[in-house]
Structures are given as C-alpha cells and as structure tokens.
C-alpha cells in the first residue's frame, strides 16, 4: 500500500533534528543508547534526535506495571524466543517485535514546550497524521494513551522525561505478529484488541515507506528540520 504524497506542512521550522534509522536493535542495546543520548542532550553535547527502529520479540515492563498482566509463563515465553525486560518508561506491559515501528525521540522540550501532556498529545498526533497518509482514519480514546482505529489499538506510547529531555516513545504496529499481544494485557487494559497497518490494509506495508512518512510528519508537527 503506497502512502499519499501529501504530508501536512507547518509554517515555521525552528531547529535541526537528526533522524537515525537503526534497523533491528535488541531492546537492551536501544535502552542503553537512549539513556546515554538523553544524558548528552541534557548536557547540551548533542542536538535533538529521533531514533527509528524495530526490536526482536520482547515484553517490556514499565514503572507502573503489574506482573499479572503478563499472561504467559516464563517457559512458554522462552520457547517462543520472547524475553521479558524491566524498563524505566511510564505505563504498564507492552510487546515489541519485528514489523513494529518503534520511535524514540530524544528532545529538549525546553526548546519547544515544557509540558508533558502536550508532548504525549503531539506524539499521538504524529501517528494519527502518518496513518492518514495510508488512508487509515485513526483517533484518540478519551482517558487512554495511544492511537486507535475503530476500537482497535494500533499504537502505544510510553515516555520518560528527565530535566525536560525525553526518551522512550511510541510503538506503531505495521506488520507486527499480533498473536504475541495475546500473551499480555496490553498497557494493563482488559479486553484491548490490537491491530496493524497490515491487518487493516490486508497487505504487507513497506517499513521504509512508513519510516519516511513518519519522519516527515514528526518534523512538521514538532517544527524541526529532519
């Protein structure tokens, strides 16, 4: 499925953004990289970055997570090649795996708007506008983080902000193995059903195309030049 060519343009570009396309990266490596880059951003040693990548199969446990939201036992997860890792992001339990676009913005919100709710809303909007480019009408659900399509969740958000510098971010299901979400209660919510671009469009979607569209939308929404 080809994306539409139009991407919403903003009238003002303020700062530079370095976008890194990292391919498939183990979660532990990406976690350490984020922490290092966030420290460097706090110290002013680097500028704003957006990391775009995928992870091998992994269940991550956020700061507010309850372990009972992992429904499968450790032996089954090991057999399936799915690791379980603790992390310092907000939120509960989620799944990452191949075919899922993960984005980790390393941004200094002092240079933009030091407001956590605004930042999360902008992340959601960047995903909503990206999906519009694939003719998918996505929305928010009141009282819940993330992005939804006709009652199904297509993207999750979990962030950490220290001294107004962000890390962690979002996960958008592109060609994700959705059966792996049945091993958890996504984000700790009972009855949540997950979907993906592939499921909605009934065909595989090129990850590089989604990354290209997302990078343009993100740069526009956050008024940065990628």
**Is 90 annotated for ligand binding?**
yes
Catalytic residue among 17, 187, 192, 205: 187
**Is 104 annotated for ligand binding?**
no
Spatial CA neighbour of 46 closest among 169, 217, 165, 215: 165
**Is 73 annotated for ligand binding?**
no
**Is 87 annotated for ligand binding?**
no
**Is 165 annotated for ligand binding?**
no
**Is 81 annotated for ligand binding?**
no
For residue 187, indicate whether it is catalytic: yes
**Is 151 annotated for ligand binding?**
no
**Is 146 annotated for ligand binding?**
no
**Is 158 annotated for ligand binding?**
yes
Structure-token pair, residue 157: 């958000």
Q: Which residues are catalytic?
A: 187
Annotated binding residues for substrate: 89-96, 156-158, 169-171
């Amino acid at each position: 499925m080809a994306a539409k060519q139009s991407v919403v343009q903003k009238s003002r570009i303020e700062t530079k953004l370095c976008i890194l396309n990292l391919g498939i990266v183990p979660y532990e490596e990406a976690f350490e990289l984020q922490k290092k880059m966030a420290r460097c951003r706090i110290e002013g040693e680097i500028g704003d970055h957006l990391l775009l990548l995928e992870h091998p199969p992994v269940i991550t446990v956020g700061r507010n997570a309850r372990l009972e939201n992992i429904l499968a036992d450790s032996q089954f997860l090991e057999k399936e090649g799915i690791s379980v890792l603790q992390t310092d992001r907000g939120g509960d339990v989620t799944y990452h795996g191949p075919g899922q676009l993960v984005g980790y913005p390393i941004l200094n919100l002092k240079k933009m708007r030091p407001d956590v709710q605004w930042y999360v809303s902008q992340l959601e909007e960047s995903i909503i506008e990206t999906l519009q480019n694939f003719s998918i009408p996505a929305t928010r659900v009141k009282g819940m983080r993330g992005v939804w399509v006709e009652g199904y969740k297509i993207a999750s958000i979990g962030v950490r902000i220290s001294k107004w510098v962000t890390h962690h971010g979002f996960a958008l299901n592109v060609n994700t193995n959705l059966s792996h979400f049945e091993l958890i209660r996504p984000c700790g919510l009972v009855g949540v059903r997950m979907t993906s671009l592939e499921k909605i469009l009934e065909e595989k979607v090129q990850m590089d195309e989604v990354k290209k569209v997302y990078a343009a939308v993100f740069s526009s929404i956050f008024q940065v030049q990628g």
